[in-house]
Structure 1
Amino acid sequence: EWVKPSRRPRTYQSYEQMIRCHVLPSPLAGKLLTQLTPQQLQAFFNEKRRAEDKPGLSPRSVEYLHAIVRKALNHALSLGLVGRNVALLVELPRAVYDEVTPLTPAQAQAFLDVASGHRLYAVYAVAVAMGLRQGEALGLRWEDVDLEAGELVVRKQLQRIEGKLRLVEVKTARSRRQVSLPSVAVAALREHRTRQKVERVRAGDLWEDTGLVFTTEIGTALDKGNLTRGFKCLLKQAGLPDVRFHDLRHTCASLLRAQGLDHRLIMETLGHSQIGITMSLYSHIYPAARREAADKIDEILH
């Protein structure tokens, strides 16, 4: 319970689930903290690793579980309950990040062309054009959007916490940001606002005034799962690869980089806390851009 006041509800829920599903059913649950050894912890994490011949956690999940255990033991150390943090002596498998797959410029345009007739076209346009996270897009409120000035402020995100959809503050100060809207996003949002007004009249007393930009046809918050299913259908209609919704964020970053925008400006647009994240994960180079780089070398050397 000591961690609950200092963590966001979603984070606390994640911590609790990892402990309940992985630590409590293990032999570690019966150990006194003072009796816990590095060897026991190492054996625990080794057992949790996924291997070819057995199911288990991915390296990233093992890393996350280790971080939770390490923090708990650090707290115990600060209270004088243990003499050292044995989690610091454990070796973990190196986390391997999934390869991200942005859409090419042609694919992005093809996707938006197919999505243009969908009632939620604007959410896809915003995701591609501005790189908003799915929760940020679904957490947008009309009070955060100024279509006349062509600006919006990312303040909230929509999350499912303990089975309920809730609006919460974005995670970091960098995530809270003001973003200029490209004309494609302004046009999409204007059309969407008009459609939503019609839906509001049609719904009558059933309408729930949440103030959200992207809602169901009765004004309630959109579930991420439902949005993702619609997204997958549109990808299939467009004949595009089966990418994730989050890959629209990668697509935005790659489109910006292909136009020569500075990494720091891309970082601010996407709301990253560190420029290293932007450079390592989101600066995909399209083949045409790589070819252009090679041609530039040829111009210099010939």
Structure 2
Amino acid sequence: MTTPQGTPASRRSRANGDGTIYQRQDGRWEAAGYVLAAGDTRKRIRVYGTTRKEALAKFTDKIATSNRGVPVPSAQGSLGAYLTYWLENVAVHYLRENTHTRYPACANQYLIPGLGKKKLAKLTAKDVRSWLNDLRTVCQCCARGTDASRNPQAQTSRRPRCCAIGKCCHKRLSPLTLAYVHSMLKSALEHAVREEEIPRNVARNVRMGTPRPLRFEPLTAEEARAFLAATNGHRLSALFELALRTGLRKGELLGLRWEDLDLAGGSASIRRTLQRTNSSGLVALPTKTQSSERRIALPTECLRSLEQHRDRQRQDREAAGAGWKASGYVFTRPDGNPIKGATLTRHFNTLLRRATLRRIRFHDLRHSAATLLLEQGVELVVIKELLGHAHIGVTATVYAHVRLRLQRDAINLLGNALRNSNETATRPDDGDEPPLWAAPVR
């Protein structure tokens, strides 16, 4: 049966496959039809509007998305429920244990209170942006009520403050923490996209900007010499010298085994890192990244100190007798057990006080090695390989202040070359200065 030409468009019959649209008893308009769903199946959906035109527009948009091959979202639960599922069933299998321990705390403190009640399928980039702006501007003590919940009668040093006493401390999250929280949300939503729970990752559409790297104060050449002098006689002097001369990370140093060292060839293979976990204690894990698994050359001074350290460890093994733990690690306790990171930090702070040096982190020895190498004119790509950075851009960003100083020296050298010849002629030539083409950058 054909539709008469005079029939209004709102009453004409829709073609097969176009769905249906009608007005409900409550006055709203409803459009329904089949669209592409997860698993290459078809699913009937319904959309609503206050007018026929509005309902038809919503339904047309769904059909257009389906025709592009994008399945309709199947997620019906909240973001908080999905985060719990993702942490317990997915992230636990591919994240490091320390990272997986931080993720639930991050979700419970920031993600679930702010976005947990949002439907996963209806989460938008605007929701994510508004939530991040709140984290950036709202005092976290007041938002979570951490200070108000403290017991004023408890005999502890942590008494109520901030919102509990009516004087806000205006504590804000750092840019690095905000970037970390945002990165976790992107990882969770990315898995939801792969499982075809949602059509797109809305968190990727929110730009956070690159947080500035933490400022550090590496040791100068004079301070580095004073530190090495203070390590003389210490049972871990070879470790500290290796850290300052090669820039190895703390976990990489503690994870070194004698089988990784080639003292005759003067090299070391970095294959693992020793980390402390909540479930297993000290455990050997893979390196931080694939680029961190590398082979480095050892300085002559380190080869000499490692030989002395091996003799000292042999004496410790003879003194321990049956109580010796044959762990195979290069740097161990007197009984052969591996060294904890906190113990190494205590030894390091003691040496800083002995050398009357300022307080720095152990990781700053790594920064000191890279900074001193740059100041000596070593190529950036060589330092990148030595430190085990994944990309040379990481090395260039972290040590940009050193490169700027080297650029200034180079520009001054160019200024000398472009100086007026008359000015150059009037300067006395004592024969001690090298020609401009042979002058070093430093």
Could you state the TM-score of these two structures normalised by the residue count of structure 1? 0.90
2:298 alignment partner, one of 159, 181, 189: 181
Distance 2:266 2:333 in 1: 25
- Give 1:117's aligned residue: 233
Whose relative contact order is higher, 1 or 2, with alpha carbons under 8 Å and at least 6 apart? 1
| Higher share of residues assigned helix | 1
2:398 alignment partner, one of 281, 286, 302: 281
- Give 2:103's aligned residue: 15
Among the aligned pairs, what percent are the same residue?
37
Distance 2:288 2:209 in 1: 27
Q: Which amino acid aligns with 1:13?
A: T
Report the secondary structure of 1:170's partner residue. coil
Could you tell me which runs of 5 or more consecutive residues in structure 1 were left unpaired when the two chains were aligned.
none
Q: Does structure 2 conserve the Cα–Cα contact (< 8 Å) formed by 1:139 and 1:156?
A: yes
Q: Which sits farther off after the overlay, 38-47 or 150-159? A: 38-47
Distance 1:7 1:268 in 2: 25
* Count of paired positions: 301
Q: Structure 1 residues 62, 287: CA separation in 2 closer, same or farther (over 3 Å shift)?
A: closer
2:362 alignment partner, one of 242, 245, 261: 245
Distance 1:148 1:50 in 2: 58
- Give 1:83's aligned residue: 199
Deviations 1:40-67 (A, max 9, x none): 3233323333778522431111111111
Report the secondary structure of 1:125's partner residue. helix
Report the secondary structure of 2:352's partner residue. helix
Report the secondary structure of 1:30's partner residue. coil
Distance 1:69 1:20 in 2: 12
2:133 alignment partner, one of 23, 42, 46: 46
Q: Does structure 2 conserve the Cα–Cα contact (< 8 Å) formed by 1:179 and 1:269?
A: yes
- Give 1:151's aligned residue: 267
Is 1:2 equivalent to 2:90 in the alignment?
Answer: yes
Q: Does structure 2 conserve the Cα–Cα contact (< 8 Å) formed by 1:140 and 1:156?
A: yes
- Give 1:37's aligned residue: 124
| Structure 1 residue 278: Cα displacement | 1.4
Q: Does structure 2 conserve the Cα–Cα contact (< 8 Å) formed by 1:254 and 1:284?
A: no
Distance 1:236 1:27 in 2: 45
Is 1:221 equivalent to 2:338 in the alignment?
Answer: yes
Is 1:57 equivalent to 2:144 in the alignment?
Answer: no
Q: Which sits farther off after the overlay, 231-240 or 244-253? A: 231-240
- Give 1:71's aligned residue: 187
| Structure 1 residue 180: Cα displacement | 0.9
| Structure 1 residue 168: Cα displacement | 0.9
1:235 alignment partner, one of 352, 362, 370: 352
Q: Which amino acid aligns with 1:248?
A: L
Deviations 1:156-201 (A, max 9, x none): 1011122511101113232111111101111121111111111122
Distance 2:234 2:277 in 1: 28
Q: Structure 1 residues 85, 255: CA separation in 2 closer, same or farther (over 3 Å shift)?
A: same
Report the secondary structure of 1:158's partner residue. strand
Distance 2:209 2:245 in 1: 36
Q: Which sits farther off after the overlay, 212-221 or 199-208? A: 199-208
Distance 1:39 1:149 in 2: 58
Deviations 1:125-159 (A, max 9, x none): 01111110111111111110111221110001011
Q: Does structure 2 conserve the Cα–Cα contact (< 8 Å) formed by 1:104 and 1:286?
A: no
Deviations 1:89-141 (A, max 9, x none): 43436522211221111111111101122111111101111110111111111
Report the secondary structure of 2:219's partner residue. coil
1:265 alignment partner, one of 357, 369, 382: 382
Q: Which amino acid aligns with 1:275?
A: I
Deviations 1:21-55 (A, max 9, x none): 4334x142233312333343233323333778522
Q: Structure 1 residues 60, 167: CA separation in 2 closer, same or farther (over 3 Å shift)?
A: same
Q: Which amino acid aligns with 2:247?
A: G
Q: Does structure 1 conserve the Cα–Cα contact (< 8 Å) formed by 2:374 and 2:403?
A: no
Is 1:95 equivalent to 2:219 in the alignment?
Answer: no
- Give 2:220's aligned residue: 104
Q: Does structure 2 conserve the Cα–Cα contact (< 8 Å) formed by 1:50 and 1:58?
A: no
- Give 1:210's aligned residue: 327
Q: Structure 1 residues 105, 288: CA separation in 2 closer, same or farther (over 3 Å shift)?
A: farther
Q: Structure 1 residues 203, 91: CA separation in 2 closer, same or farther (over 3 Å shift)?
A: same
Could you state the TM-score of these two structures normalised by the residue count of structure 2? 0.63
Is 1:28 equivalent to 2:127 in the alignment?
Answer: no
Q: Which sits farther off after the overlay, 197-206 or 102-111? A: 197-206
| Structure 1 residue 81: Cα displacement | 1.8
RMSD of the TM alignment (CA)? Answer: 2.4
